[in-house]
Amino acid sequence: MSYQHRWIDGSAIDLPVGKVVCVGRNYAEHARELGNEVPDAPILFIKPASSLVPIAPSFSIPTDQGEVHHEIEMALLVSERLQNVDALTAQWSMAGFGLGLDLTLRDVQNELKKKGHPWERAKAFDGACPVSGFIDARGVSWKQPIEISLEVNGALRQRGNTTQMLFPVFQLVAQMSKVFTLEPGDIILTGTPSGVAALQPGDQLVATFGNTLKVSTTVTARENTEEVAGNEIRERW
Ligand code: ZN
């Protein structure tokens, strides 16, 4: 599975592939739909570089670990090293903007939460972060709210805009940079609007970022990794 950052025309972006820094509950509606409190400081977590895959023309989901929820999110591609910066510096240090899916094994996550365990098994697995190509940051204006949306099989499931965020995009990046040094090639996911639900193999997805980006893709079933590993071992013997 190889991933590389790309512009929306498909050409490669000359930045390394790094970590993905994410925020939980950045839209009040979404916090409520999962029965969570609205936080006063952003809830941060990381997906490793190994979780990144291209979102289109298809991406795969595990089928043997309960529900896999879609969380459509605005994705930011970092172009500079950012450590303890302010929001304005953060804004000027982005290479591009796009869309990401924070895939979540919801049943696994609920179990982990109950036990007080970390979330990685539910959110950081291989393929847990499908991302689109990026729009050059210079072509995106922040003067008006930007809307993101997700349709599944023709039905609108998620829609939200930047004014509904509890922590606005670049203030969020600034806060993240106080905890984790952001490196060129890192991606930031800025939280999901309400409407999260389970995906099924065969689902057809259309995701949008403002009027600039529209991505169509298909969900496929991931081969059971343990079985694959078992077969490889048997073949070797
Ligand atoms: Zn999320």
What CATH number does the domain containing 199 carry?
3.90.850.10
- State in Å: Cα 36 to ligand 1 middle: 13
**15 domain-assigned:** no
113 in a structural domain: yes
What spacing in Å lies between the alpha carbon of 104 and ligand 1's midpoint?
Answer: 8
Question: What is the whole-number distance in angstroms between the Cα of residue 193 and the centre of ligand 1?
Answer: 9
Helix or strand or coil: residue 122? helix
* pLDDT averages per 10-residue partition of the chain, 237 residues: 91 98 91 83 95 98 97 98 98 98 97 95 97 96 95 97 94 97 98 95 98 97 68 53
Residue 9 lies inside a defined structural domain of this protein: no
Span from the CA of 98 to the centroid of ligand 1 (angstroms): 15
Ligand 1 mean position, distance from CA 190 (Å) = 7
Alpha carbon of 23 to ligand 1 centroid (Å): 6
Rounded to the nearest angstrom, the distance between the alpha carbon of 169 and the centre of ligand 1 is 14
Å from CA of 103 to ligand 1 middle:
8
- Distance from the CA of 53 to the center of ligand 1, in angstroms? 16
Q: Is residue 3 part of a domain?
A: no
Ligand 1: centre distance to CA 73 (Å): 7
Tell whether 132 is covered by a domain. yes
CA of 231 to the centre of ligand 1 (A): 34
User: 224 C-alpha to center of ligand 1: Å?
Assistant: 24
Distance, CA 7 to ligand 1 centroid (Å)? 23
Q: What is the Cα–Cα distance from 140 to 152, expressed in whole angstroms? A: 26
**Which domain covers residue 188, as residue numbers?**
20-236
pTM for this entry: 0.92
Instruction: Kindly state whether residue 1 falls inside one of the protein's structural domains.
Output: no
Ligand 1 midpoint to CA 87 (Å)? 21
User: Ligand 1: distance of its center to the CA of 72 in Å?
Assistant: 7
Closest CA to 110 of 165, 65, 60, 47: 65
The reply to whether 10 falls in a domain is no
- Compute the half-sphere exposure of residue 40: CA atoms within 13 Å on the CB side of its CA: 0
Q: Measure the CA dihedral 143/207/74/3, to 10°.
A: -130
In a domain, 226, yes or no: yes
What is the count of structural domains for the chain?
1
Among 70, 134, 124, 69, which residue's Cα sits nearest to residue 99? 134
CA distance 231 to 186: 35
